[in-house]
Chain A
Amino acid sequence: MAVYILRRVIYTIPIAIGVSIVCFLLIHIAPGDPLSAVMPEGASAAIIAQIREAYGFDRPLPVQYLKWLGHVVTGDFGMSITTRRPVLGEVLPAVANTMILASTAVLFGFVTGCVLGIIAGYTAGSLTDRAVTAVAVTGVSIPHYWLGMVLVVIFAVNLGVLPATGMGSGGSGNFALDWASLRSLILPAITLSVIPAGIIARSVRATIAEVRKHEFVQTLYAKGLPGSRVFVHVVKNAMPTVLAIMGLQLAQLLGGSILVETVFAWPGTGFLMNSAIFNRDLPILQGTILTLAMFFIVINLLVDIAQTAFDPRIKRS
């Protein structure tokens, strides 16, 4: 087990380096000079050269990359062009807000997906199964940013029971464990939960239907075990797969919440990236993407290790 974990961690390192190279190059594929936002209007050629040198842009790319990586590893992600504050100070609170939204959404999605999936898995082939599967397909097909707008129309515009946008009381941007904050979380979390709910429902259905075909289930019934006790055994066998999918969905949502955050003006990473793109604030964009990608890699790694720990049958080379 320890050897497996070690090997898995070592395997992740080159990928993390590759991801950092892609993030570094993002600034360089951007059209125009990455420094155009800090260049004074009508700067002379000499001043431009001076600024390029000050930012290290006159060096060859590999040298620039290593220098940048050195800063990043020590937590220095550069300065925001619009706010002139350190990038990390802007990115971390946004990551925390996205985490609140994404984990709530995954929790919603997990509960809905499991309930639907178990019902469908137990009634495989029936009309109920078909209905549930249809709901699951709807969940994965729906443009969630549009669903967000529909929910706003229903619950904020027509019924006026929930806030349309913002986080915390009155959209203050401060999240506390109070009713006002939780109310502001409901609509965005439900919106973001439909995709994981659909995916989890589908895989729970498939896994449960699969597990129920195993001979041990028949044996349990034959032994005279009541249905509810057999159910516990079925769920226990289906759990590792389902938990792994839930973990992967959380990882996807961390990067995938940008559209929903935009609809609900949720001050997370998506919202931050969106404003960074329109202000051409490339350091913020780069910092956010790098942070989220690293989270994504780490969560995937943890899911992989946890899955192996839970299920000794999984043997990987």
Chain B
Amino acid sequence: MVCLSILFLIALAALLAPWITYHDPYKTSIARRLLAPGDARHWLGTDELGRDMLARLLYGGRLSLLTGLSPVILATAIGGTLGIIAGYLGGWINMMIMRLIDVFYAFPSVLLAVAISGALGGGIVNTVVSLTLVFIPPIARVAESVTTQIRSQDYVEAARATGAAGWHIVTGHVLSNVTGPILIYASSLVSVSIVLAAGLSFLGLGVKPPEPEWGLMLNTLRQSIYVAPLNSILPGVMIFATSMCFNLMSDGLRDAMDVKQ
């Protein structure tokens, strides 16, 4: 519950950033570079170009949450659909889909993300595309195995025996039983996605300057680590807090939904 409120606060702060701080996150100032946190005007100090840290951290939540959340949502939609189709139809269609998934599963996840982003080039869209491709295989695998289990359940057999149409069985029986496990699994990927999306920006493969984004801020402030260590570490605190909260929330969700334990 604490986590949910923290996440809510971070998201709200990102949305309402213009009303929380009067500082412009893009406005540079040569004279006010790398001010330490606790400054009268810049509460959390300034970055290497004299931009207000608090404003950039607040606005940064927008892109960080967007690039972290959207790959999981897209991958759940695409991977979930592929997995359900493969699991429900079985046979050679299952074979085709799952072998293709296996190929992408045969890459370490960070490597795959870096490889695709590296080849496509940086940018928000490419970050989302590469992370979506990273998360489709695991989600599809979960969806496929759950669907396969449910397909052989007696009530699905019964529905088929009474002459229910395939489409009706999928929407009425399979979907309602499959979505829970898929969503619980997908929720556990959000924290990884937040860390990876910021990580791609940290490598210079994600969000482009001068946009405020936590991973990119870590990247540019890294040069100032000897001069202003506190400033250069702040964006990471945001990534850490967000990822930790999503992780705990996903754990809570799993415990709450899992009747077996």
Contacts and interface: CB of A to CB of B under 8 A. Distances in A.
Nearest to A270: B114
B214 to A, nearest CB: 9
Interface in A70-93: none
A130 B63 CA distance: 33
A230 interface: no
B104 A143 contact: no
B180 interface: no
A131 interface: no
Interface residues of B, number: 44
Nearest to A296: B108
A258 B114 contact: yes
Interface stretch (A27-35, A116-124, A175-183, A305-313): A27-35
Interface string A30-71: 110000000000000000000000000000000000000000
The A interface is mostly helix, strand or loop, or mixed, namely helix
A252 interface: yes
A254 B108 contact: yes
B82 to A, nearest CB: 16
B199 interface: yes
Contacts of B236: 143, 146-147, 149-150
A158 B202 CA distance: 23
Interface string A254-270: 11101100110000001
B115 A14 contact: no
Interface in A279-310: 282, 285, 289, 292-293, 296-297, 300
Contacts of A170: none
B171 to A, nearest CB: 31
Contacts, number: 141
Given A137-B247, A141-B191, A273 B118 contact: yes
Given A141-B247, A150-B236, A258-B114, A30 B120 contact: yes
Given A143-B236, A273-B118, 19 more contacts: A15-B106, A18-B99, A29-B120, A143-B195, A143-B198, A145-B218, A147-B236, A153-B225, A153-B232, A255-B107, A259-B203, A262-B202, A262-B203, A273-B115, A276-B118, A277-B205, A285-B115, A293-B107, A296-B106
12 contacts: A23-B115, A26-B119, A138-B244, A142-B195, A143-B199, A146-B239, A146-B240, A149-B236, A152-B225, A259-B203, A285-B118, A293-B108
Interface of A: 14-16, 18-19, 21-23, 26-27, 29-31, 137-138, 140-147, 149-150, 152-153, 157-158, 251-256, 258-259, 262-263, 270, 273-274, 276-278, 282, 285, 289, 292-293, 296-297, 300
